[in-house]
Amino acid sequence: MFGTSRWKDVTKDKRTYRFGVALRAIIVVSDIKGGGSLTLPIVAAKVEIGDARATAQLLVRGYKGKLAGALPAWQTFGVDSYAQYMKSVSSIQQTILDDETNIQPELLATTVISSTLPSSGVSVGFVYGLHAIAEGSSLAHAVEKLPSSDAEVVTTVRAVYKAHIGEDERATPDPEQRQEAEEQLRGLHLTRGWFH
């Protein structure tokens, strides 16, 4: 992802609202072969030789002028298209940031939403814990395999086990408990075999 923005933060009743104009470009890459850093030129080169697939999303907020003629002609994300795409994005960026008469500041970000979300530690711990139960792992084994020592993650995993399995760290989930955890994951699945 890359982007540019021009903004001002406004605080009211202890909540912060970021208003402004912004351009965001998001490149989604899939089916990557090989290793290394995924910079955009490398993605373009990999697409060119068939070692990756890429799609792009361009988002402009807070600008009411016309941009249709400046939008990139999207075909594939090969090396030539990449150069053309970046040129178009740069042109749009200059237009929306310089053309003050057509800037109409919009909400770009806020703490109103973030204050209602659980922390990442709790979220990761909850999903990991449910997945470990669904896979039939005991709490002791799940904690041992946990790829993070973050206290909040560990505490959440323990809380999930306590709620679903009970106090015994060595107890393995029965089929019903595994099924229940599976259902709570609503089809989400960690593809790496963490518990084997």
List interacting residues with another protein (CB under 8 A): 1-13, 15-21, 29, 32, 34-40, 59, 61, 97, 100, 103, 105-117, 187-192
Minimum gap (Å) between residue 168 Cβ and another protein: 28
Between CA 127 and CA 131 the distance in angstroms is: 6
Bridge partners (DSSP) of residue 55 are: 28
- Structure tokens given for 146: 């946990």
CB of 104 to another protein, least distance (A): 8
Q: Minimal distance in Å, beta carbon 8 to another protein?
A: 4
3-state SS class at 158: helix
By CB atoms closer than 10 A (0-12, 13-18, 19+), residue 66 is exposed
Q: What's the start-to-end Cα distance of the chain, in Å?
A: 34
Pick between residue 170 and residue 192 the one whose CB is nearest to another protein: 192
Q: Closest separation between CB of residue 60 and another protein, Å?
A: 11
Residue type, 166: G
Which C-beta is closer to another protein: that of 39 or that of 149?
Answer: 39
Shortest approach of another protein to residue 131 CB, angstroms? Answer: 11
Between 59 and 163, whose beta carbon lies closer to another protein?
Answer: 59
> CA-CA distance, 60 to 69, in Å (whole number)?
14
Closest CA to 65 of 19, 97, 33: 97
What DSSP state is assigned to residue 117? S
DSSP conformation class of 113: H
Which residue, 22 or 160, is less far from another protein as judged by CB?
Answer: 22
Of 163 and 188, nearer to another protein (C-beta) is: 188
